[in-house]
C-alpha cells in the first residue's frame, strides 16, 4: 500500500529541501520535460555523511544511473536504490551551476544557480556554501563520446517522466534544484519545474541503516 507523505513542487529555477524517511520512495517528476533536477542528499543526524557522485560512479562502474543501482555515500554505504527510470539518461560527471559559472562563461551577473538554490533550501539545516556536496544531475543529457569527451544536450525526458528511488538510510534530507541554466541546451533553453513526491511504501522492508 502506498501513502503520499509529502508533495514538493520545485518552481522553475529554484530549489527545495525535504526529509525522506528510510524505506520511503522519492519520485522525481519532470513536469514539462527537458528539465534537469540537480540532486543532493545529506544525513541530518550525521553531517559527515552525504550522497557522493564519486563513490556512486566507483561502485556502479558506469557514468549513468539505472534501475537496481545503489547510490553511495562518501562512507561507501548504500543511500538510495533506483526503483524506476522513465528516461535512461542521467549525468554523474558535470558540476552544478553556480554564480561563478554564469559570470566567467556567460558574462552574466546575479543569475540564479543550483548552488545558491541549495544554499537557500538548506538554510533551515544551517548549511554553509562550502558544505554543499557534489551533485547528481537527474535527467541531464551528457552523452559520452568514443574519445571519452562528453556532451551537454537537450534532455530526452518528456512531460511526466519519473525517476524513483528508495531511501535506504535514516535521517536523510534531500534537496532538488530545478536547474535555472537557460544559456545552454541542458534544460532545453527553457527552465521548468520539478515535482518531488515522497511516498511511504508499506510493502517495503527497509534495511538497517
Closer by beta carbon to Zn ion, 172 or else 179: 179
Per CB under 5 A, 71 contacts Zn ion: no
Shortest approach of Zn ion to residue 81 CB, angstroms? 25
| DSSP category for residue 106 | H
Query: Judged by CB under 5 A, how many residues of this single chain contact Zn ion?
Result: 4
Angle in degrees, CA 18, 21, 23, rounded to 5: 135
Closer by beta carbon to Zn ion, 13 or else 23: 13
| DSSP category for residue 150 | B
Q: Of all helices (H) and strands (E), which one includes residue 57?
A: helix 53-60
Q: Which of 40, 82, 114, 196 binds Zn ion (CB under 5 A)?
A: 114
Closer by beta carbon to Zn ion, 119 or else 179: 179
Contact by Cβ (8 Å): 155, 141:
yes
Q: Which of 172, 174, 98 is nearest to 129 (CA)?
A: 98
Q: Which of 17, 40, 51, 179 binds Zn ion (CB under 5 A)?
A: 179
Contact by Cβ (8 Å): 162, 199:
no
Q: Which of 17, 42, 65, 97 binds Zn ion (CB under 5 A)?
A: 97
Per CB under 5 A, 178 contacts Zn ion: no
Shortest approach of Zn ion to residue 169 CB, angstroms? 26
Closer by beta carbon to Zn ion, 72 or else 187: 187
Q: Which triple of cell numbers denotes residue 85?
A: 527510470
Q: Of all helices (H) and strands (E), which one includes residue 18?
A: strand 15-20
**Which spans of this chain sit near Zn ion (rule: CB under 5 A)?**
97, 114, 179, 181
Amino acid at each position: 500500500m502506498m501513502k503520499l507523505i509529502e508533495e514538493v513542487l520545485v518552481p522553475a529555477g529554484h530549489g527545495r529541501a525535504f526529509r525522506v524517511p528510510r524505506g520511503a520512495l522519492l519520485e522525481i517528476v519532470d513536469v514539462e520535460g527537458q528539465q534537469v533536477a540537480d540532486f543532493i542528499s545529506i544525513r541530518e543526524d550525521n553531517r559527515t555523511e552525504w550522497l557522493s557522485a564519486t563513490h556512486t560512479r566507483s561502485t556502479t562502474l558506469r557514468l549513468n544511473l539505472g534501475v537496481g543501482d545503489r547510490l553511495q555515500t562518501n562512507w561507501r554505504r548504500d543511500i538510495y536504490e533506483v526503483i524506476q527510470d522513465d528516461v535512461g539518461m542521467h549525468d554523474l560527471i558535470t558540476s552544478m551551476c553556480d554564480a561563478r559559472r554564469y559570470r566567467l562563461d556567460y558574462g552574466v551577473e546575479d543569475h540564479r544557480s543550483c548552488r545558491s538554490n541549495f544554499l537557500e533550501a538548506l538554510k533551515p539545516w544551517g548549511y554553509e556554501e562550502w558544505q554543499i556536496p557534489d551533485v547528481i544531475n537527474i535527467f541531464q543529457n551528457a552523452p559520452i563520446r568514443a574519445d571519452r569527451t562528453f556532451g551537454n544536450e537537450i534532455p530526452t525526458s518528456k512531460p511526466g517522466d519519473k525517476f524513483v528511488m528508495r531511501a535506504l538510510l535514516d535521517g536523510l534530507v534531500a534537496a532538488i534544484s530545478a536547474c535555472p541554466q537557460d544559456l545552454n541546451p541542458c534544460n532545453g533553453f527553457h527552465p521548468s519545474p520539478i515535482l518531488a513526491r515522497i511516498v511511504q511504501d508499506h510493502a517495503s522492508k527497509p534495511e538497517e541503516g
